[in-house]
Structure 1
């Protein structure tokens, strides 16, 4: 039966059969000591991406201690701890993995091995996995419970066709991810080239305290070009309505989710407004905990305040394009310097004085605009590719759930 004749929206399941999970797959419990093996690849739960069948990174045997589970190409590593994270990825190279996972091997007599990883990512399987997990702080699945669960599967000939369809969709996503990675590398390369004087240097280069930069550019401290301001020490009392109160979590996404922001009373707001009142065109910058997150304020709010211990307000002084400053703050080079200057402890902290003294390569304003426009074009491409990937992933997930 050709794939094009399979109506996934009205899939005929009258000839499907029910199987216990231990008929569908085996749990591989072969143990391995990282100190007594030639195998190098270690895969922990931290190396598995949620809702992805691919393993994109790994650790080594030097990273771990204690016995682990051995895994072979074709096996699927399933995160039995915190199953709600939906981690189940295919092994491509012999290695070993965390004991907080299960190594599952499809039974080819019952399920097409190429279809098995997609089955594990179906809502049917994942929701059941969450339901049978035990424990409150770190809910975990027991094999003894999982193996008894029953699932309906299509006939083997139909499984092969469905697997082919899902892998074709996966190939589309993987190609889009490759394009995204190349585009991000292009952006990073362009920005780093700007910082190190590898671009826009038709007039030649000059030596400075931060390295080579184009002639006609200056090296300025942050304090020379912007006003960097802290707020006051303040423990907010949140209310259901009032004045918006921004936190680091609010600026981590490209667009602020106004349904999730916190509010404070007008009285508390009035205490803070004189100290720190960010306006449209300012940059909010995180300096505590997760440091180095920047967000240009692109909305008009008469009132908005933010936590002083986590965010800085950066306001333009003169001859500065704020988009150019943001691309510098977001660059790999600047982030490395910021982390070098930050204070490590229970909470990572970047002192206000450190960022005020930070040196920036500063071209004439017209060149800043040129650079910012080029970066904006690349960022627009990245946003477009990410949108395509999200659409493709959503379609893939829909297909999986229509099948199972």
Structure 2
């Protein structure tokens, strides 16, 4: 990390694991002495509604806002006003910290957010409330709790295998280190100023990625619905979602372009440490299937499943539950089975699987998918609906040309998106390093002024 700041003149050994030395005049303590603790509302997702009192649940802590939340800027679900009388202890005040009490991975253990407004808001299900006893420098505490040195303590204390749990007892026992109140304020002001600049850079890269993905999507949609020849004569496809297509293309339902459309296991599988890979929706959403994170089932269950659903290289998987409409061409040779949330599609000679993959990514297919289920409260794409999807199909050799063209054109977008993602990762690493350096006293920011120019 590049910084113009010097270290403090003298340090002392804290004898705290993962921390090392801190400035000589700083003190050490435990989180229990600086915070009181409580629990969020004892509710479930079914208790949430579209109006009432804003409610912050563990899902928002993990995936949406992180570090800070303000109901005036961040959309939240609500609970009824009756909780104001029955559960006032779950109400938050400005500066309160809300931890998620469970995480699906060790890296998420200790995730929290801080309320930065005076809105009336509840902590919801699966949360722990940490209330600073002195709110003067509550912002400093947020940065302290976000430092790698403190989060490492949490990660080494949590219990769990599939789900990792953070308890009030764990949080109470966490070691902390503190400068005096004036210095805490200076560190918090410094980090607010410097991390804001980093966050602006991250936001710009995220906006760029969004724009690139939109353009990428437009290129795909145009290629597989209009073709590559801009001068090709067009005709009305006769299908609302497709509009005009080249004259020589055919429109047909998917069931006439396939040999098999079948979903996976309709029973609860037996998960084992070693066995046959068993893919779910989450496993097909990245470019490569991560064999280190997938589930496995016994060989005998796999043998039963492949009697009706045998995935092979060149077939296409499509998600039909949860995050629906995600396609994945099978480009590997190893044996596997699939859960009921996925369906397997085997194409006949009229449809190229990679062309179909791109087609499933178009606005035209999404219109069909969401048009069919928009009246349902259950996000579930049934096989009979999938069979009735309309496809606009050029001759097979033209499909292959379109696929090759898209591979070349999309590489430019993918490279730019990858570059932007790397920039975001680097910025986040710098942000993390800066926070740790400031709150552990590796750099002395006592003379910081907001008008100073710094390299972050």
TM-score (norm 2): 0.64
**1: distance between equivalents of 2:432 and 2:146?**
8
**1: distance between equivalents of 2:221 and 2:80?**
31
Structure 2 residue matching 1:206: 3-state secondary structure: strand
How far apart are 1:358 and its partner, in Å? Answer: 0.5
**2: distance between equivalents of 1:337 and 1:396?**
43
Aligned to 1:305: 337
How far apart are 1:221 and its partner, in Å? Answer: 1.5
Aligned to 1:180: 209
How far apart are 1:58 and its partner, in Å? Answer: 0.7
- Distance change in 2, residues 1:298/1:25 (3 Å): same
Tell whether 2:318 aligns with 1:285: yes
- Distance change in 2, residues 1:256/1:339 (3 Å): same
Q: Is the 8 A contact 1:320 1:368 kept in 2?
A: no
Q: Is the 8 A contact 2:191 2:435 kept in 1?
A: no
Q: Which has the higher contact order (CA 8 A, sep 6+)?
A: 2
**2: distance between equivalents of 1:233 and 1:3?**
57
Q: Is the 8 A contact 1:77 1:104 kept in 2?
A: yes
Q: Is the 8 A contact 1:18 1:153 kept in 2?
A: yes
- Distance change in 2, residues 1:109/1:236 (3 Å): closer
Per mean C-alpha deviation after superposition, the further-off stretch among 175-184 and 52-61 is: 52-61
Tell whether 2:233 aligns with 1:209: no
**2: distance between equivalents of 1:164 and 1:10?**
27
- Distance change in 2, residues 1:98/1:169 (3 Å): same
Aligned to 1:14: 24
How far apart are 1:269 and its partner, in Å? Answer: 4.0
Q: Is the 8 A contact 1:44 1:97 kept in 2?
A: yes
- Distance change in 2, residues 1:162/1:242 (3 Å): closer
Aligned to 1:341: 372
Gaps of 5+ in 1: 28-38
- Distance change in 2, residues 1:315/1:214 (3 Å): same
Aligned to 1:153: 178
Tell whether 2:5 aligns with 1:5: yes
Tell whether 2:72 aligns with 1:58: no
Correspondences of 1:190-269 after superposition (within 5 Å): 190-191=219-220, 201-203=230-232, 205-207=234-236, 208-211=238-241, 212-216=243-247, 217-230=249-262, 233=266, 236-269=269-302
Tell whether 2:403 aligns with 1:374: no
Structure 1 residue matching 2:200: 3-state secondary structure: helix
Q: Is the 8 A contact 1:220 1:360 kept in 2?
A: yes
Deviations 1:159-209 (A, max 9, x none): 654555444443332332222222233334445556776997544653231
How far apart are 1:285 and its partner, in Å? Answer: 1.6
Q: What count of residue pairs does the alignment treat as equivalent?
A: 384
**2: distance between equivalents of 1:229 and 1:376?**
30
Aligned to 1:329: 360
How far apart are 1:297 and its partner, in Å? Answer: 1.6
Q: Is the 8 A contact 1:132 1:146 kept in 2?
A: no
**1: distance between equivalents of 2:218 and 2:167?**
43
**2: distance between equivalents of 1:372 and 1:71?**
53
How far apart are 1:16 and its partner, in Å? Answer: 1.8
Structure 2 residue matching 1:388: 3-state secondary structure: helix
Q: Is the 8 A contact 1:213 1:361 kept in 2?
A: no
Q: Is the 8 A contact 1:282 1:314 kept in 2?
A: yes
Q: Is the 8 A contact 2:259 2:347 kept in 1?
A: yes
Structure 1 residue matching 2:67: 3-state secondary structure: coil
**2: distance between equivalents of 1:394 and 1:3?**
14
**2: distance between equivalents of 1:40 and 1:268?**
48
- Distance change in 2, residues 1:187/1:70 (3 Å): farther
Aligned to 1:359: 390
Structure 2 residue matching 1:183: 3-state secondary structure: helix
Q: Is the 8 A contact 2:315 2:345 kept in 1?
A: yes
Structure 1 residue matching 2:427: 3-state secondary structure: helix
Aligned to 1:33: none
Structure 2 residue matching 1:4: 3-state secondary structure: coil
Structure 1 residue matching 2:360: 3-state secondary structure: helix
Deviations 1:357-400 (A, max 9, x none): 11123344233543454345424433443343234334433444
**2: distance between equivalents of 1:269 and 1:179?**
43
Structure 2 residue matching 1:219: 3-state secondary structure: strand
**1: distance between equivalents of 2:80 and 2:414?**
36
| Match among 117, 120, 125 for residue 96 of structure 1 | 120
Q: Give the superposed CA RMSD.
A: 4.8
**1: distance between equivalents of 2:277 and 2:195?**
44
TM-score (norm 1): 0.71
Q: Is the 8 A contact 2:228 2:402 kept in 1?
A: no
Structure 2 residue matching 1:245: 3-state secondary structure: strand
How far apart are 1:335 and its partner, in Å? Answer: 3.4
